[in-house]
Amino acid sequence: MKDALKLAFSPCPNDTFMFHAWVEGLIDTQGHQFEIKMADVEELNQSAMKEDADITKLSFSAFAHVADRYELLTSGAALGHNCGPLLVSKHNFKWEELSQVKIVIPGKYTTANLLLTMFAPDAKNKKELVFSDIESEVMNERADAGLIIHESRFTYHQHGLKKIADLGELWENKYKCPLPLGCIAVKKSLPPEVKIQLNRLMHDSIAYAMKYPKASADFIREHAQEMDENVQQQHISLYVNQWSLELGEIGKKAIRRMMEEGTIAGLLPNTEVVFVDELKKLVN
């Protein structure tokens, strides 16, 4: 029997939707066994710095810091249009005032924080918090503003919060390409044929989820932070799309653009992005 590979992803609805068929063995896993870990995306980002998992969900911002040790699957990404992190507050304030505003963020290595730093470099009064606690921190005025991701973008207005800026909109207006948010990475040290199998597994798991969208409902509900099923479905519909199934050239170019712009801004190390599908020639 093959040794179990460590697989890590978040409990967010888009991830549990995509990984359900994989984890439950509803698709051919090529004889591989998996040890599963589920954690908040920033915890996954930090774990990747220590190479804890063989296959892991990551923020694209974090990937830049581990690209010497990990490569990207071409399936499983969260990337698209109108899906960016939002800066919200109980109060109105001008963009120029961000340098004086206390902002709670979902983690240093999140793509959300990368975007905020790119577009508002003077906004340095930040506090890291698990994404699901950010809304209440702002509602209770322990912070002036919050950078929200995941399900929170569908619920913030119900809690009396106002949108100050959509960072995805800023990205798309400036760079004219989809916004890369999260990815699935695999260890470079794995054999090329195994990485290619894992890429196929991710693709097949998503394809299964899209063909049988109700099959994962219990699995999603079991792990979701936000229990409203309409919110869960909105989350999945927004973050699981054609680029999740297969990045294609448009998706790859958007990712490389983010790596380049982050490097130019001095926020990311110079990064060589390797996609697993480019390894096929090594095993043919």
197-221 pLDDT tens trace: 999 999 999 999 999 999 999 999 9
Query: Scanning the structure block, which residue is given the tokens 């702002």?
Result: 138
Phi and psi at residue 140, to the nearest 5° = -90, 5
Quick one: tokens of 273? 């992005």
Looking at residue 281, its pLDDT comes to: 57
- Predicted pLDDT at 46: 96
Average pLDDT of the chain?
93
Rounded Cα distance between 198 and 219, Å, is 21
* Cβ neighbours, 10 Å, residue 227: 9
Structural domains present in the chain? 5-80+179-283 (3.40.190.10), 86-175 (3.40.190.10)
The set of residues, in sequence order, having a beta carbon less than 8 Å from that of 32 and lying 6+ positions away, is 2, 4, 5, 194, 197, 198, 201
Residue 2 has pLDDT above 90, yes or no: no
The token pair at 122 is: 């003077």
Q: Count other Cβ atoms within 10 Å, centred on residue 282.
A: 11
Query: What letter represents residue 53's amino acid?
Result: A
Predicted local distance difference test score (pLDDT) of residue 90 = 92
Q: Which of 82, 59, 55 is nearest to 69 (CA)?
A: 55
Supply the Cα-derived Rg of the chain in whole angstroms. 18
Which residues does 118 contact at the CB level (< 8 Å), separation at least 6? 261, 262, 265, 267
pLDDT at 152: 83
> For the segment 91-119, what is each residue's pLDDT rounded down to a tens digit?
888 888 888 999 999 999 999 999 999 99
pLDDT at residue number 280: 62
- Tell me which residues are annotated as active site: 150
- State pTM to two decimals: 0.93
